[in-house]
Amino acid sequence: MQIKFETALITGSSRGLGRQIAVKLAMEGVKKIGVHYRTGRSDAETTLSLVEAAGASGTLVQGDVADAVAAENLVNEAARALGGCDIFVQSVVPPLGEIYEHAMSTELPLDKWQLAFDTQARAFFVCARTAATFMRGGGRIIGLSYTQGGRTGGWQPWVGMGSAKAAMDSIARYFAVALARHGVTVNTVSPGMSDAGLMLQTPREVQVALKEWAESGWTPMRRRGTSEDVADVCALLCSDDARFLTGHALLVDGGSSLMNPDFPLALQIPA
């Protein structure tokens, strides 16, 4: 796998999946990386130190992607500091309590719904479009999505984020067409239930139940995903090997999205 691009900005990279992606890109040869944070500067500094230990230089960029003007400004700021922006990855996710509410709850305030769209669909639209102006010799744009949340309705408190992620997947397809002639690919990566990101904010008993559910066979590979699984796919998309792959939503879920809810593996005769 060869990544020929030299500069990258990963929003939401102060921690979680964003941090793992930043470090992975540094390990694979990206020379300059923008580490973005909203309020957690100390976490961002930790990411920056990990990026530097992996062989890249970096810069910290602060801003709230929920604000469209601030989102555009932080991309421009990062590109100036890095000397370009060949790769853009959106990995921002608000704290669980700020967006989580049952779909039919009369307590669901519109600001939770709006925050989901502002930090996901609109932020992706603004940041990716801005980053593309710096992609002179081709480039890569990736959005961290949750495609299943846009196709199903089973995860009820995800109604705002599921709808916003569906919009992100759609935006990626439009951008993929618009930017293809410039050698820029645009894709989304959709982790399944993993040991990173928002799942770490759920109660311990929920995390244990999801782990046991995956290992019982609901995920055919019989384990939850890891942040490394997701980061590896993002790095692959940034490589020259993926130069002809664009406009897709890649599900990194160990096959869980292939399962039929009427016939879980636990009810079938083991192979």
The per-residue pLDDT for range 140-193, each reduced to its tens digit, is 999 999 888 778 876 677 788 888 999 999 999 999 999 999 999 999 999 987
Residue keyed to tokens 């040991």 = 195
pLDDT on residue 102? 59
Within a domain: 266 = no
The winner for highest mean pLDDT among 131-140, 200-209, 217-226 is 131-140
Instruction: Calculate what percentage of the chain has a pLDDT beyond 90.
Output: 64
Within a domain: 129 = yes
pLDDT on residue 21? 98
pLDDT on residue 40? 93
Q: Of the candidates 25, 169, 145, which has an alpha carbon nearest to the alpha carbon of residue 90?
A: 145
The per-residue pLDDT for range 68-98, each reduced to its tens digit, is 999 999 999 999 999 999 999 999 987 766 6
Within a domain: 271 = no
Q: How far is CA 97 from CA 62, 158, 168, 209, in A?
A: 22, 11, 21, 20
Within a domain: 213 = yes
Q: Of the candidates 77, 75, 22, which has an alpha carbon nearest to the alpha carbon of residue 46?
A: 22
Please tell me the total count of domains within the chain: 1
Within a domain: 160 = yes
* Res 250 pLDDT > 80: yes
Q: What is the CATH number of the domain that holds 34?
A: 3.40.50.720
Residue 207: CB atoms within 10 A of its CB come to 16
Within a domain: 122 = yes
pLDDT on residue 219? 84
pLDDT on residue 170? 97
Average pLDDT (2-26) is: 96
CA–CA separation, 126 vs 141, rounded Å? 12
Within a domain: 239 = yes
pLDDT on residue 55? 96
The per-residue pLDDT for range 106-124, each reduced to its tens digit, is 565 678 888 999 999 999 9
Residue 103: CB atoms within 10 A of its CB come to 14
Query: Token pair of 150, please?
Result: 């846009």
pLDDT on residue 8? 98
pLDDT on residue 200? 65
Q: Give residue 227's domain range.
A: 7-251
The per-residue pLDDT for range 187-219, each reduced to its tens digit, is 999 998 777 666 666 667 777 777 777 777 788
Within a domain: 268 = no
Query: Is the distance from CB of 36 to CB of 22 less than 8 angstroms?
Result: no
Identify the residue with better confidence: 194 or 249: 249
pLDDT on residue 256? 87
pTM summary value: 0.92
